[in-house]
Structure 1
């Protein structure tokens, strides 16, 4: 039933719920961005840390929730697919929309290029290694040839890398000379608004995901296609709104930092958290690795574009959108059986 069982699960009702949930996500992301901006100024955080830690973790709550729910429902592959699809959406679509939304080129920085982007590529590599270790040392009895179980000790590997990421950010904060914060910032009120914004986003995205899932089932959209495209885009909506708003206000570093920081959190924290809750979850290496390969290529593309002139032009923004359209076309071809690069999808 839609809206926590209060409304019938019809196509029309779910369309209306999706529209209402999208509006709530817009409101919640606005509260999140404003409160994070005020709190970051109060505590003297650099713009890149504000985007890659404070805002990124907040706007990544939908992805974290989707992985937890998927693990509890025994469809962890679907959750991982949504995470990786969301990461590809974040890397290609969000910077593109942010670049298009600004009047001039979207400015980046050497910190974004040489620290955030490269650390994110390291995060992708560590996740691939974790999946490979699961297949080698904890194979699934009677399962597909390239399937294994991610256990809690294996889940600790990406979590430890995220601890290193936090340590690096902490070092940057300790070296940063911030301006004196104003005395007129109501700290408790801003923390309260941050919490309410997170709650609104979480509830709205849960309904958004439910509505999209129902419509995909009603109209016969394959589960794999819905996971890596529709659900991925739905859970990325808060990241999109926050990043575009930051870009339009002239905060290009915060906008791009949110994208890379959110993806780093999703891969190194959201997926392991689902494992820690359940204890052990199966992973199909043949499905996961081609998607992570595409994510790696998308990250390299964004890294190369950002390094060119340390900015993102309108032409480069549209090129990223074209790359995402090509990705969606490939996933549709996989679902339709036209191509067969993703085995078992």
Structure 2
């Protein structure tokens, strides 16, 4: 299959993942209806929208079956994390400014500093643990994947202690609005196909969740194949292809989900989804595939060179910059959007330079 064919697969599976994640999110919102704002965004929404990163990492690691697969998996989480940290908040600011909240343009809004500190701490802590492993060890052992998952469990406990409330009265079932059964099949609206679009119950929510996960898993397998094919076609390292193309494709659900929260006025959920997704990517989306791989096949060689460790350090710098943009000002404004746009332009310029160099080191 040629380069254009692989790009066509990439575009197709991106659309499939987006629709499957819509169904996943519909059920996840129902199951997390009793959680407070911020907690729901950072936990339920973040986990749901981060499934593509985890399943793509699984596929790349087991498909390539070597350190190249490890490097590609790390690159997916890095690229997605940068996209989440910069593009998603930027898209949310532009959405409420030009589309509006309930029909009214919003030029500035506030977010919870407490939630920002919580999400920022665990994100940076997870990054620090992973960077330490990459620098300190020559082989990745199964227990390192477990250690990353334990970091997420700490975040999970902190999230749940942040508070929940009986929000079931505030929950309102939202149909995916498929016009007919054929459209529902094409867009993976399982609630319409299987349950005639009736309001969700625990049973139907879990069934829909499972079906959506299967579709996402299959899509991510083909996504990993296209990433390898694009790398071969462009004659660049697989990790660089994953950093750009797989990361963008797997971040589509996070973006749409955060924008939907933002235009509803749920700003804490919109921002927490971005940072919570990153924490999940760094710990579980990377740690679980490596844990399973390590238990089955043994150790995984660390990627050669300093490129991958450099990527993680660069991500920490970007994360700190974004956190400061949100934490220091009292409100999120157009100036915040401008700062994010500049940061993203620097990132894109860096990627263009890296692709021309065939890699990079710091």
TM-score tier (shorter): 0.7 to 0.9
Q: Given the superposition, is the C-alpha separation of residues 22 and 326 from structure 1 closer, same or farther in structure 2, using an over 3 Å criterion?
A: same
Alignment partner, residue 278 of structure 1: 293
Alignment partner, residue 145 of structure 1: none
**Following the alignment from structure 1 to structure 2, what is the Cα–Cα distance between the partners of residues 339 and 59?**
29
Q: Per-residue displacement from partner, 1:215-255 (whole Å, max 9, x unpaired)?
A: 44334454343121122111222212222222222221111
Alignment partner, residue 296 of structure 1: 316
**Following the alignment from structure 2 to structure 1, what is the Cα–Cα distance between the partners of residues 333 and 23?**
29
Alignment partner, residue 141 of structure 1: none
Q: Select the residue among 332, 337, 347 that pairs with 1:312.
A: 332
Alignment partner, residue 100 of structure 1: 94
TM-score by length of 1: 0.82
**Following the alignment from structure 1 to structure 2, what is the Cα–Cα distance between the partners of residues 18 and 334?**
21
Q: Secondary structure at the match of 1:255?
A: helix
Of residues 154-163 and 234-243 in structure 1, the stretch that sits farther from structure 2 once superposed is 154-163
**Following the alignment from structure 2 to structure 1, what is the Cα–Cα distance between the partners of residues 4 and 358?**
32
Q: Unaligned regions of 5+ residues in structure 1, if any?
A: 1-8, 135-147
Q: Given the superposition, is the C-alpha separation of residues 316 and 18 from structure 1 closer, same or farther in structure 2, using an over 3 Å criterion?
A: same
Contact 1:109 1:310 in 2 (8 A): no
The alpha carbon displacement at 1:65 in A equals 1.6
**Following the alignment from structure 2 to structure 1, what is the Cα–Cα distance between the partners of residues 237 and 355?**
7
Contact 2:39 2:159 in 1 (8 A): yes
Contact 2:36 2:167 in 1 (8 A): no
Contact 2:307 2:359 in 1 (8 A): no
Given the alignment of the two structures, is residue 111 of structure 1 paired with residue 114 of structure 2, yes or no?
A: yes
Alignment partner, residue 32 of structure 1: 24
Q: Per-residue displacement from partner, 1:46-88 (whole Å, max 9, x unpaired)?
A: 1222111112112211111222223222121121122112211
Q: Select the residue among 84, 103, 118 that pairs with 1:90.
A: 84
Given the alignment of the two structures, is residue 168 of structure 1 paired with residue 158 of structure 2, yes or no?
A: yes
**Following the alignment from structure 2 to structure 1, what is the Cα–Cα distance between the partners of residues 262 and 349?**
28
Q: Unaligned regions of 5+ residues in structure 2, if any?
A: 98-105, 173-198
Given the alignment of the two structures, is residue 131 of structure 1 paired with residue 125 of structure 2, yes or no?
A: no
**Following the alignment from structure 1 to structure 2, what is the Cα–Cα distance between the partners of residues 39 and 22?**
25
Given the alignment of the two structures, is residue 235 of structure 1 paired with residue 264 of structure 2, yes or no?
A: no
Alignment partner, residue 205 of structure 2: 190
Count of residues paired in the alignment: 317
Q: Given the superposition, is the C-alpha separation of residues 192 and 111 from structure 1 closer, same or farther in structure 2, using an over 3 Å criterion?
A: farther
Q: Structure 1: which 4+ aligned runs deviate by more than 6 Å? A: none
**Following the alignment from structure 1 to structure 2, what is the Cα–Cα distance between the partners of residues 270 and 244?**
23
**Following the alignment from structure 1 to structure 2, what is the Cα–Cα distance between the partners of residues 332 and 123?**
28
The alpha carbon displacement at 1:209 in A equals 4.2
Given the alignment of the two structures, is residue 77 of structure 1 paired with residue 71 of structure 2, yes or no?
A: yes
Q: Given the superposition, is the C-alpha separation of residues 324 and 167 from structure 1 closer, same or farther in structure 2, using an over 3 Å criterion?
A: same
Q: Secondary structure at the match of 2:203?
A: helix
The alpha carbon displacement at 1:95 in A equals 1.3
Q: Per-residue displacement from partner, 1:27-57 (whole Å, max 9, x unpaired)?
A: 222222222222222xx11122211111211
The alpha carbon displacement at 1:149 in A equals 0.5
Aligned-CA RMSD value: 2.6
**Following the alignment from structure 2 to structure 1, what is the Cα–Cα distance between the partners of residues 4 and 128?**
42
Q: Given the superposition, is the C-alpha separation of residues 241 and 212 from structure 1 closer, same or farther in structure 2, using an over 3 Å criterion?
A: farther
TM-score by length of 2: 0.79
